[in-house]
Amino acid sequence: LTPQALQLASKVALAELLLSGCTTAADHHYLFPGGLADAIDIQVGAVRELGMRAMLTRGSMNLSKENGGLPCKSVVQDAEAILADSERLIDRYHERGDGAQIQIALAPCSPFSVTTDIMRTCAELAEARDVRLHTHLAETLDEQEFCAKRFGMRTVDYLQSVGWLGPRTWLAHGIHFNQVEIHRLGAAGVGICHCPSSNMRLASGICHTLELEDKGAIIGLGVDGSASNDASNMMLEARQALFIQRLRYGAEKITPQKVLGWATRGSARLLGRSDIGELAVGKQADLALFKLDELRFSGSHDPIAALLLCAADRADRVMVGGKWRVVDGQVEGLDVQGLIADHQQAARQLVNG
């Protein structure tokens, strides 16, 4: 993974999100091999170039296979390097208040790949610097087994033991929780980023969204990454969420309006943002406009429901903070064909070594 490859990948993902109507993204980057110490700095540049907002998380892995973890030795870092870079990024980039464009969160990858010490120290640093916490949790049954074997406890018990069970935390996936754990997560105000396409692609399971929400947890939506979802399209992700959650709870409880609420207000709350996620006086001027004049929308009687049921996948106009970033279905100032060509070349080099 090279700096150029990461820059291209970040621009491709951000552009695809923007074209689907997404104005604010979060990314969980945790690979820092040799030569890529400034990975988050590269992502900051990509976000600013596209005129979006982002919560960029300083991910980390420090528990290699040799020490009982998942990642290979070439991509783990020592705790001192992780914490020093975390503080540097907060100092340099983290913006506060309404309209913030770049924010930083701390994000040890998962219980598979970091030590208890780094989880606990990141929680302490996040509290001291008032930034958010993010990690993967309860995505697969293997993770429950790993936590039971290595730590002698289930995932939510582990989360509490390292100081993460609170409203500063949002978790990716959050599938394999029992009813007691759902109650504890809700009572603590923890956020859950539901990633339906990834969960279906990997056959990981289905998130218990309504039970979590009923107990007080915050639900938002994420497209996950290219390793488990080949499309970074927020509208298509919302459609997947609608269908998989209807499979669990039924159509009456899972409406298009409900799911669009997760994609907008819910996702904003996951990131600790009160200035985005809805159209209201005093909020940021974010708009995503979709044309409904294609054949697939013909005959639809509810334009809001049609966005998901008829699979709207590309916005005609997108405004971020009062500035048009997509006009006539094109990202302003971005050579998409050139980006695709460069990205495809980088992908071929990766495959061919």
CATH of the domain at 181: 3.20.20.140
CA distances from 116 to 69, 108, 159, 160, 173 (A): 12, 10, 10, 11, 21
- Closest by CA to 22, choosing from 222, 207, 240, 197, is 222
| Total structural domains within the chain | 1
- pLDDT value, residue 350: 86
Q: Which residue matches tokens 């070439």?
A: 74
Q: Find residue 58's DSSP bridge partners.
A: 29, 106
Residues 287 and 352: their CA atoms lie apart, in Å, by: 41
Residues whose CB is less than 8 angstroms from the CB of residue 314 and which lie 6 or more positions away in sequence, other chains included: 19, 20, 290, 329
Task: Residue 259: name the closest of 243, 274, 270 by CA.
Answer: 243
Structural domain range at position 290: 3-352
> What pLDDT score was predicted for residue 74?
87
By C-alpha distance, which of 311, 200, 199, 307 is closest to 256? 307
Q: How many CB atoms lie within 10 A of CB 171?
A: 25
pTM of the model: 0.96
Per-residue pLDDT tens digits of the chain, which is 353 residues long: 899 999 999 999 999 999 999 999 999 999 999 899 999 999 999 999 999 999 999 999 999 999 989 899 888 999 999 999 999 999 999 999 999 999 999 999 999 899 999 999 999 999 999 999 999 999 999 999 999 999 999 999 999 999 999 999 999 999 999 999 999 999 999 999 999 999 999 999 999 999 999 999 999 999 999 889 999 999 999 999 999 999 999 999 999 999 999 999 999 999 999 999 999 999 999 999 999 999 999 999 999 999 999 999 999 999 999 999 999 999 999 999 999 999 999 999 988 87
